[in-house]
Amino acid sequence: MPKLNNTHLPERIQEHIAKMERGEEIEAKKDKTLLNEQQQKELKEALAQQQQLKKTHKRPKTQEEKDAIGWKEIREVRLEIYRQALEQLSANVVDDIRELQRQREAKAARVFMEAWSKAGKEGRVGSSAISAGNIALTRAGFTPQGHFGLTKRDREIKAFEEEFLKQSENELSEEEKEQLDLLREHEKAVKKRKK
């Protein structure tokens, strides 16, 4: 299973928070996967503080009494730490994406250079060695060097097709639009099942 990175964590943490707010039971082992070491340490300290507080004080009967002594349920403590973690991730999202991009580019360069140098050692030079590097990039799931996506003509054709489809949809009757919506929902469901 791939390791979670900081672009995946906000969504997972939001789901976790929503479950806790609904009162669902959440496994404590999720804390290790969703929280970093510092946040895990803060959570342990906060839980220990609450345990100590519960040993020294009787259970308060009103919310005012709870607030006065700082009494919180375990779920409330965990929710607070998860919300802080979500805020930290949201604040650093651009930097995290840049770092992932840098890592991806470095990996692509490594793959290309390894294949290129291997081809050079085998006696292939020039465009043959570059071709070997591009093949290795494609196999590794990267875009080969010199290929930057769609050509100008491809983009124009795609834009024309989208325009034509929008125009065709506007000319459909209400019943045909309903059928089209049902078809799209079915295709989404099929695609979701295949994942």
Average pLDDT, the chain: 82
Average pLDDT over residues 76-99: 84
Which residues fall within 8 angstroms of residue 167, CB to CB, at 6 or more apart? Answer: none
Average pLDDT over residues 55-71: 74
Average pLDDT over residues 86-111: 87
pLDDT (tens digit per residue) in 158-181 = 899 999 888 888 888 888 888 888
Q: How confident is the model at residue 110 (pLDDT cuts 50, 70, 90)?
A: very high
Q: How confident is the model at residue 148 (pLDDT cuts 50, 70, 90)?
A: low
Q: CA-based Rg of the chain, rounded to a whole angstrom?
A: 27
Is the predicted pLDDT of residue 65 greater than 80, yes or no?
no
Separation of alpha carbons 60 and 69, rounded Å: 9
The pLDDT value recorded for residue 106 is: 92
The pLDDT value recorded for residue 149 is: 60
